[in-house]
Amino acid sequence: GENVEQHPSTLSVQEGDSAVIKCTYSDSASNYFPWYKQELGKGPQLIIDIRSNVGEKKDQRIAVTLNKTAKHFSLHITETQPEDSAVYFCAASSDYKLSFGAGTTVTVRA
Amino acid sequence: EADIYQTPRYLVIGTGKKITLECSQTMGHDKMYWYQQDPGMELHLIHYSYGVNSTEKGDLSSESTVSRIRTEHFPLTLESARPSHTSQYLCASSDTWATEAFFGQGTRLTVV
């Protein structure tokens, strides 16, 4: 089955700086790579996703890159703000399920 | 805002009790899922459904069972709760495979 590894497990950044989270996956058949943000007391919510036929996608301050050859994908958050503090999960999907990484707790320091 | 609802939000129950965690979605999604989220925050798939009358076990072995009699409803049942079942349970749904999954707010279960 799919195995997704996510690093780092915690990340502390100064407000205004960038944050980068990296994930690797094992199943070359995976073709859908979403990123979820989970705030305290809430369920995860999709923030951006990318499919295997695209190398990069951007949505305002958030961008995701995908390297299919190396089987890794990354989330980039620029100009971080206090409301970006949350747990972020990467995931990979090839068919019926999403396999999640272990999560990254991001803290944005004011 | 996702139209997927879980009840109860919090539940404290004694060992040996039977419990049912409710999950409902109003989006007409065929695919539904139950995830268990441990204290380290990692999400583990325990059950999923292709549609009405279909249920499958996920990656993480679970003593819970699920049913899918109606498209919008995907309840999870524990026949005899144990302290090892203490966790957060998240329900999700999606239109198809490999598309956005919408999550409920979760049920935090504590078995004493």
Q: Give the separation between CA A78 and CA A63, rounded to whole angstroms.
A: 8
Quick: pLDDT tens for B25-78.
Answer: 999 999 999 999 987 688 999 999 999 999 999 888 889 999 999 999 999 999
Q: Which residues of A touch B98 (CB under 8 A)?
A: 31-32, 93-95
pLDDT tens-place string over residues B1-21: 569 999 999 999 999 999 999
State the pLDDT confidence band at A71, using cuts at 50, 70 and 90: very high
Whether A53 contacts chain B with CB within 8 A: no
Closest CA to B47 of B70, B78, B18, B82: B78
Residue B2: predicted pLDDT:
63
A18 vs A37: CA distance, rounded Å:
16
What's the length of chain A?
A: 110
pLDDT at B1 (0 to 100):
58
**pLDDT (0 to 100) of residue B35:** 95
